[in-house]
DNA sequence: GGGAATCTTGACGTCTCCTTGACGCCGCGC
DNA sequence: GCGCGGCGTCAAGGAGACGTCAAGATTCCC
């Protein structure tokens, strides 16, 4: 269920969208005035905003601008105006997308998915936790017990391959191909050396690893 | 200057867009085939992709999907097809936006701005503290132990790029692009010189830095 | 036009990282 | 009991990246 705030004063459109979006996994909350919308957006309970430009009190573009002052929530603007200037103004005010009425519902849904897809990883970043380890793939950062751990490029690439699929086995061949290149497929020496280095840096007792596990003869896995 | 990869096989459109986008602050690199695009996107040197759907070798949607496997770079799809299905397919494959040809240039520019605004790291707090350092990004002001530290323009720009995402690694390429411009991507000399200058001004023991850290062969990070 | 600040460039010593080989341990099959 | 293969560990060497310094070159401001 995705919480969506609809800012729209036309009761017919509100009804249509509430039903249709509701059928596609959205919980729709509707407000009719821009001032209400700004206040409610501040509470941060909505994951995405759908803003109509034709509001009774405030211009929709000002709503977008006001919300953007305090929030990075995705905003889609709906409008009957197909004018170039309105689009540019809305997008530059901070809107993420602009859909012209009459709009196609499957397109609107696709654009909502796209906006949410972008917004979500940013909020719940691609961070993997395991015991006292924090691995932030985006920031290329590894912490152990709150302290930054320095990894060499190869060490990081190896860890990244394993962490990408937590808990599941990655074959030696696959690791070698990803980290060193396809022609290194039989250099299992490298794996032994670098896995050992990672364990020394990341495990409490490198000789009895809890996170970087060996499947003898097959490959390695990262266990959270 | 923003580095943009244009994936388009029609030479006329390439020429038009290169000129027009170039006049608006984009450095346009064009490739005509999808396979080229996928390979080049992997290098991570482009800040945004503009993909045409009608390519000679691979379907543009597959290009989008392939790039999305390895990258979160913003992708705008250009297409002559106005069909609902094509839009939905492209957006669900990972495109950030879909613009129908013939498109209005000012709208395309606005959509590019919107996509880039989202992609750029959510501006960290305007004031960042680390030890006895106080860095006010908005005021362009740096204090160390309560005393104002003077930075040259380049020194400031470099520090700003690193402080914008505290704790996360910034690649050499990215720093050079942001501070000196895309064509300086291999002038790592500059980095060494300016990082050293910053350390001399900001670190207690420049030879054992605590905040401006090196990841040899990869980049630098600001550690609070 | 002159001086100061800033940027660019090159050289050199130092350090990190990747690679490689040797050795010991363990489990398994003979 | 013994040999064998796979794994973990260690350390050395060389290539390349980095830190440092200082001398031009350039820009900017007065």
- Pull the structure tokens for residue A20: 């249709």
Q: Residue B159: which of B101, B210, B220, B215 has the closest Cα?
A: B220
Longest dimension (CA), chain A: 71
Centroid of chain to Cα B38:
17
* Contact state of B91 with A113 under an 8 Å Cβ cutoff: yes
Q: Which of B92, B110, B169 sits opposite A139 (nearest CB)?
A: B169
Residue B87: what pLDDT?
95
Test the A interface: residue of B97, B130, B171 with most A CBs within 10 Å: B97
- pLDDT at position B57 is 80
- The 3-class SS string of A147-211 reads EEECCCHHHHHHHHHHHHCCCCEEEHHHHHHHHCCHHHCCCHHHHHHHHHHHHHHHCCCCCCCCC
Residue of B nearest to A138 (CA): B168
Beta-sheet pairing, A212-215 with A219-222: antiparallel
Range A122-132 average pLDDT = 76
Model confidence band, residue B147 (pLDDT cutoffs 50, 70, 90): very high
**What confidence category does residue A124 fall into, taking pLDDT thresholds of 50, 70 and 90?**
low
**Does the C-beta of B187 come within 7 A of strand C?**
yes
Structure pTM? Answer: 0.82
pLDDT value at residue B122: 66
Q: Is the Cβ of A87 closer than 8 Å to some Cβ of chain B?
A: yes
- From chain A, pick out residues whose CB is under 8 angstroms from the CB of B24: none
**Whole-angstrom Cα Rg for chain A:** 24
Confidence label for B123 from pLDDT (cuts 50, 70 and 90): low
Give the distance, in angstroms, between residue A97 CA and nucleotide D29 C1': 46
A189-218 mean pLDDT: 96
Radius of gyration of chain B (CA): 20
C-beta separation of B135 from B166 below 8 A: no
Question: Which tokens sit at A15?
Answer: 């009804």
In this prediction, residue B39 carries a pLDDT of 84
Q: What is the DSSP letter of B184?
A: G
Q: From the CA of A149, how many Å to the C1' of C15?
A: 18
What is the distance between the alpha carbons of residues B166 and B125, in angstroms, rounded to a whole number? 10
Q: How much is the pLDDT for A81?
A: 75
Q: Is it the case that residue B101 has pLDDT exceeding 90?
A: no
What integer pLDDT is reported at residue A55 of this predicted model? 76
- At residue B69 the predicted structure's pLDDT band, cuts being 50, 70 and 90, is confident
Cis before A163? omega within 30? no
The residues that bridge with B51 in the sheet, in sequence order, are B7, B77
Would you report the helix, strand and coil content of chain A in percent, each value rounded to 5?
45, 25, 30
Judge whether residue B188 contacts strand C, using its CB and a 7 Å cut-off: no
For chain A, the domains span 2-122, 125-222
- CA dist., res. A98 & res. A104, Å (int): 13
Bridge partners (DSSP) of residue B6 are B30, B50
Specify the higher pLDDT residue, A15 or B71.
A15
B134-142, long-range: CB < 8 A, 24+ apart:
B135/B159, B135/B163, B137/B163, B137/B164, B142/B202
**Upstream peptide bond of B102 is cis (omega within 30 degrees of 0):** yes
- Say which nucleotide is closest to residue B217, CA to C1' distance: D17
Positive or negative: CA dihedral A115, A121, A122, A124: positive
Q: Cβ within 7 Å of strand C: which of A 105-164?
A: 150, 152-155
Q: Is pLDDT of A180 > 70?
A: yes
The SS3 call for residue B127 is: strand
The class that CATH gives domain A125-222 is: mainly alpha
Which tens digit of pLDDT belongs to each residue from A51-88?
Answer: 999 877 788 899 999 999 988 899 999 998 778 899 99
Q: What is the pLDDT of residue A174?
A: 95
- Mean pLDDT throughout B112-133? 86
pLDDT in tens, B1-12: 788 999 999 999
Phi, psi of A74 (to 5 degrees): -60, 135
- Which of A88, A96, A140 comes nearest B169 by C-beta? A140
Please check the confidence at residue A147 and state whether its pLDDT lies above 70: yes
Q: Contact A51/A64 with Cβ under 8 angstroms?
A: yes
Whether pLDDT at A218 is above 80: yes
pLDDT value, residue A101? 84
pLDDT confidence of A44, banded at 50, 70, 90? confident
pLDDT at A59: 87
Q: For residues B219 and B170, is the Cβ–Cβ distance under 8 A? A: yes
Mean pLDDT of chain A: 92
Rounded Cα–Cα distance for residues A81 and A99 (Å): 10
Of A110, A117, A138, nearest to B88 by CB-CB distance is A110
Please write the tens of the pLDDT for every residue from B185-200. 999 999 999 999 999 9
**A 19-48 near B (Cβ less than 8 A):** none
CATH 3.40.50.2300 fits B2-122, yes or no: yes
pLDDT of residue A123 exceeding 60, the answer is no
The C-alpha atoms of residue A180 and residue A189 are separated, in whole angstroms, by 12
């Amino acid at each position: 269920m995705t919480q969506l705030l609809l800012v729209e004063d036309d009761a017919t459109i509100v009804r249509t969208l509430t039903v249709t979006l509701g059928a596609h996994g959205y919980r729709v909350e509707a407000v009719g005035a821009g001032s209400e919308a700004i206040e409610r957006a501040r509470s941060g309970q909505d994951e995405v905003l759908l803003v109509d430009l034709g509001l009774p009190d405030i211009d929709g573009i000002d709503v977008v601008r006001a919300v953007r002052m305090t929030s990075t929530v995705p905003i889609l603007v709906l409008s009957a105006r197909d004018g170039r200037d309105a689009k540019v103004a809305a997008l530059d005010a901070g809107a993420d997308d602009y859909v012209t009425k009459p709009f196609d519902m499957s397109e609107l849904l696709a654009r909502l998915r796209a906006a949410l897809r972008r917004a979500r990883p940013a909020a719940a970043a691609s961070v993997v936790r395991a015991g006292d380890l924090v691995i932030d793939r985006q920031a290329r950062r590894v912490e152990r017990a709150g302290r930054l751990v320095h990894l060499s490029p190869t060490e990081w690439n190896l860890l990244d391959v394993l962490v990408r699929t937590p808990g599941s086995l990655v074959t030696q061949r696959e690791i070698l191909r990803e980290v060193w290149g396809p022609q290194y497929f039989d250099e299992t020496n490298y794996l032994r050396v670098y896995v050992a280095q990672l364990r020394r840096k990341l495990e409490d007792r490198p000789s009895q690893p809890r996170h970087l596990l060996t499947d003898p003869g097959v490959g390695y896995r990262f266990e959270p």
